């Protein structure tokens, strides 16, 4: 990635820990930022945050930097050790974005992510936060994702066809129609009216005595999981992936695990 004399390079590596009893090989990803001229620490940290969010989406679990170093390229001497964090969550054997299959598109995806990061960051942050396994599910967990879908439509879809779509149910229908060729969306069977009524109920936009299709309890939990699938497809589409490529990503991924866990015959 080249922007005003700044390059991003990705390096894939391995860390090998050998003992007399076993051998542990850990996969590592390194982001190298090189600038022709001096750039601020603030700019570097912004780039690092962008990449951490991208990697969190790609691996479908929160990823953070384990080390950040500043190096003087002229004399190859480390000029500053900024900080070191605990090792990120282990993503296991499955990832969402298939780097091997989509290797040729990766530079374009990173460029698109960088160009849209200011608009995308709040939305992707909500999704990343929701991936953390919690002992307790509550209404705010649903509302965060439901609102993120609204935010995505307003920032990336609205007015593309010359219309200013404000009604939440119509926004959801537009997104569902966009991904009608994506298998995981078909299997989710999201009902836009139910999602709208549920979001309105818990946002206190509906009078308590008004007829509503809003769900609660276990149904609310599974509606939230399905909305996370839809929001993930939105982010993948923003990165420039086609529905066919989104299908490839979702196959044998954390998304497929969500779909396999859905109770039967949920409307």
pLDDT tens for each residue of 68-119: 877 776 666 555 566 666 666 655 557 899 988 898 999 899 999 999 999 9
Q: What's the residue count for the chain?
A: 267
Check whether 238 has a pLDDT greater than 90.
Answer: yes
pLDDT higher than 70, residue 14: no
Choice among 21-30, 51-60, 132-141 with the minimum mean pLDDT: 21-30
Per-residue pLDDT, 266: 44
153 contacts 171 by C-beta, under 8 angstroms: yes
Q: What is the pLDDT of residue 172?
A: 97
| Average pLDDT across the chain, whole number | 85
> Residues 127-131: what's their mean pLDDT?
92
pLDDT class of 20 with cuts at 50, 70, 90: confident
249, pLDDT greater than 70 = yes
Residue 193 CB contacts under 8 Å (≥ 6 apart), including other chains: 169, 213
- Per-residue pLDDT band for 22 (boundaries 50, 70, 90) equals confident
In this predicted model, what pLDDT tens digit does every residue of 160-209 receive, in sequence order?
777 778 899 999 999 999 999 999 999 999 999 999 999 999 988 766 66
Instruction: Output the CA torsion sign for 15, 2, 246, 148.
Output: positive
Q: What is the b/e burial string over 161-187, where b = at least 16 CB atoms within 10 angstroms of the residue's CB?
A: eeeebeebbebbbbbbebbeebebbeb
pTM of the model: 0.85
Q: What is the pLDDT of residue 80?
A: 59
pLDDT surpasses 90 at 36: no
Question: Bigger pLDDT: 65 or 172?
Answer: 172
């Amino acid at each position: 990635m080249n922007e005003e004399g700044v390059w991003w390079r990705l390096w894939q590596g391995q860390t090998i820990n050998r003992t007399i009893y076993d051998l542990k090989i850990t996969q590592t990803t390194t982001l190298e930022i090189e600038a022709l001229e001096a750039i601020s620490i603030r700019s570097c940290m912004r780039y690092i945050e962008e990449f951490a969010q991208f990697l969190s989406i790609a691996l479908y679990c929160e990823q953070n930097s384990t080390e950040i170093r500043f190096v003087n390229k002229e004399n190859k001497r480390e000029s500053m050790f900024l900080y070191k964090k605990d090792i990120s969550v282990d993503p296991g054997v499955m990832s969402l974005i298939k780097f091997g299959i989509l290797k040729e598109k990766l530079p374009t995806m990173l460029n698109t992510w960088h160009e849209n990061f200011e608009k995308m960051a709040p939305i992707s942050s909500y999704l990343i936060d929701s991936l953390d396994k919690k002992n307790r599910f509550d209404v705010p967990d649903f509302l965060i994702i439901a609102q993120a879908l609204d935010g995505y439509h307003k920032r990336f879809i609205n007015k593309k066809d010359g219309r200013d779509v404000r009604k939440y149910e119509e926004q959801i229908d537009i997104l569902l129609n966009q991904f009608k060729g994506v298998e995981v969306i078909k299997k989710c069977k999201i009902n836009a009216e139910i999602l709208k009524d549920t979001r309105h109920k818990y946002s206190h936009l509906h009078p308590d005595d008004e007829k509503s299709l809003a769900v609660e309890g276990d149904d609310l939990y599974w509606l939230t999981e399905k909305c996370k699938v839809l929001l993930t497809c939105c982010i993948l589409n923003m990165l420039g992936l086609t529905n066919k490529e989104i299908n490839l990503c979702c196959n044998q991924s954390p998304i497929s695990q969500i779909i396999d866990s859905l109770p039967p015959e949920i409307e």
